[in-house]
Amino acid sequence: MGFETSTTRSIRVWEMGARNQAGHKNATSDPGASQLPPITVPTHLLTRYLRVRLGVSDGFLRWEVPRTLLGVVPAGVQHISVPVGDVESLRVHRVVRPFSLLVGAACIVVPLVLALWWAAVPLGIVGLWVVLVSLGPRLEVVTHRGEKRHTSVCFSHQIDAELYMAAVTDLAEQARERR
């Protein structure tokens, strides 16, 4: 059967349930038809303590996105809710976060240039960490009003996010058809 994660299993179970409901007369009026099991993915392999939680319930795409300083230091959680019917596009793409990249590079270069040898190793490690975290996939949702919401997703969990977004896209199309 191939490689399967818990996310692909739960989405497959959800799709099977949706297919079974399609045979019922009131499947379109069923509030459970616009739900997906929640998924939790880390933002990066080096920051596994920072996790994004996605879920669809009651016709809303709900996110719990960690707020961070330079993608490394946690600074709270942002809760985002977007009606599934308002979702225009969902995608996962690779980005470079230029500010974090510059700060990380500065942490590596500045101690070497200023001959601060005692600070070169710890700042070099922190700088390398920030540089690596500044590279990676980003999950982006665009609504019909043009609002963009995004969050970082771990390289190794990118396929999970893409599968989840495909299921959310199907739900968004169904919600638009019901209108």
Angle at 90 between CA 87 and CA 93, to 5 degrees: 155
Is 41 inside a domain boundary? Answer: yes
Over 70: is that where the pLDDT of 11 sits? no
Burial class (CB in 10 A: 0-12, 13-18, 19+), 49: exposed
Q: 14-40, pLDDT tens digit by residue?
A: 444 444 444 433 333 344 456 788 888
What pLDDT is stored for residue 109 in this prediction?
Answer: 94
Write the CATH number for 123. 2.30.29.30
- Of 53 and 5, which is predicted with more confidence? 53
Number of domains in the chain: 1
Alpha-carbon gap, residue 66 to 52, rounded angstroms: 7
Average pLDDT (137-162) is: 86
For residue 121, give its domain range: 6-178
- Per-position b or e across 142-172, b if 16+ CB within 10 A of its CB: bbeeeeebbbbbbeebbbbbebbbebbbebb
| DSSP helix/strand/coil, 141 | strand
28-32, 40-44, 70-74: lowest mean pLDDT where? 28-32
Is 133 inside a domain boundary? Answer: yes
Is 55 inside a domain boundary? Answer: yes
Q: 95-111, pLDDT tens digit by residue?
A: 888 998 999 999 999 99
| Predicted TM-score of the model (pTM) | 0.64
Alpha-carbon gap, residue 44 to 66, rounded angstroms: 12
Is 1 inside a domain boundary? Answer: no
Is 150 inside a domain boundary? Answer: yes
Average pLDDT (83-100) is: 87
Is 143 inside a domain boundary? Answer: yes
Is 25 inside a domain boundary? Answer: yes
Paired with 66 in beta bridges are 77
Q: How many CB atoms lie within 10 A of CB 60?
A: 17
Q: 100-146, pLDDT tens digit by residue?
A: 899 999 999 999 898 888 889 999 999 998 898 888 888 888 888 88
Percent of the chain's residues with pLDDT above 90: 14
